[in-house]
Amino acid sequence: MQLLINIVNLLFNICYYLIIADIIVSWVPDLQRTRPAEIVHLFTEPVLAPLRRLIPLPGVDISPILAIIILQVIQRFLINLLLQAGNV
C-alpha cells in the first residue's frame, strides 16, 4: 500500500512542478517558443484551460493557483482513501 501512496504522491508532485514550470515560462516570452515549453504546455493546458474559462479575469491568470489547490484536495482524498483501504 505504501508503494501505491508513493506513486500517487510522485504523480501529483510532477503535476505541481509542471504547473510551476508553465508559470515561469509564461513570464519569459523567449522561453514560450522552445520545445520544452511546448511539452510543459501540452501537459498543463488540459488542466488550466477549463479553470481559465470558469473564472475569466482580464489581465490576471489565477488558474495555476486554483489548479494546485484542487490537485492538493484530490491528492489528500486519494491518500486518505488508500490509507483507509489499507486498514480494512
The pLDDT value recorded for residue 60 is: 87
pLDDT of residue 40: 95
Cell numbers that stand for 8 in this block = 500517487
Q: Report the predicted TM-score, pTM, of the whole model to 2 decimal places.
A: 0.88
Per-residue pLDDT, 88:
61
Q: In the chain, which stretches have pLDDT less than 70?
A: 88
Distance CA 10, CA 25 (A): 22
**What's residue 80's pLDDT?**
95
Question: 68 with 16: CB under 8 angstroms?
Answer: yes
**38: three-class secondary structure by DSSP:** helix
